């Protein structure tokens, strides 16, 4: 932590409760947990090809673009920087 990020600056000035991170995750189905280097879970809703595992990918621009970063890893990093709350919105379930 450098103390220079927006999250760190706001948390330092106003407290962690003032920092709310909004995340728009999108489910990505995979055939096995070893298929990607992200936090993978077994899903009770199989994918279109019968996949039993998935990970949640971060999106930007209202879900129109994806990034190769997992939501699980990103929220842990934001928490370490000082975020006090995480607001999750599901791109797959519209809210």
In the chain, where the domains are located: 6-88
Of the pLDDT bands very low, low, confident and very high (cuts 50, 70, 90), residue 1 is low
Query: In the numeric block, which tokens belong to residue 46?
Result: 């199989």
Indicate the DSSP class of residue 44: S
- What would the two tokens of residue 80 be? 């370490």
Question: What is the structure's pLDDT at 15?
Answer: 95
Distance of alpha carbon 14 from alpha carbon 10, whole angstroms: 6
Write down the pTM of the prediction.
Answer: 0.83
Q: Which two tokens stand for residue 88?
A: 């999750």
pLDDT, mean of residues 54-79: 93
Indicate if the pLDDT at residue 47 is higher than 80: yes
């Amino acid at each position: 932590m450098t103390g220079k990020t927006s999250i760190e600056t706001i948390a330092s000035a106003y407290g962690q409760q003032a920092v709310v991170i909004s995340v728009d995750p999108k489910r990505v189905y995979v055939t096995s947990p070893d298929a990607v280097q992200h936090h993978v879970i077994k899903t009770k809703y199989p994918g279109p090809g019968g996949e039993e595992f998935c990970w949640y990918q971060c999106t930007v621009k209202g879900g129109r673009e994806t990034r190769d970063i997992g939501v699980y890893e990103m929220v842990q990093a934001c928490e370490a920087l000082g975020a006090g709350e995480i607001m999750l919105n599901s791109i797959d379930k519209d809210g």
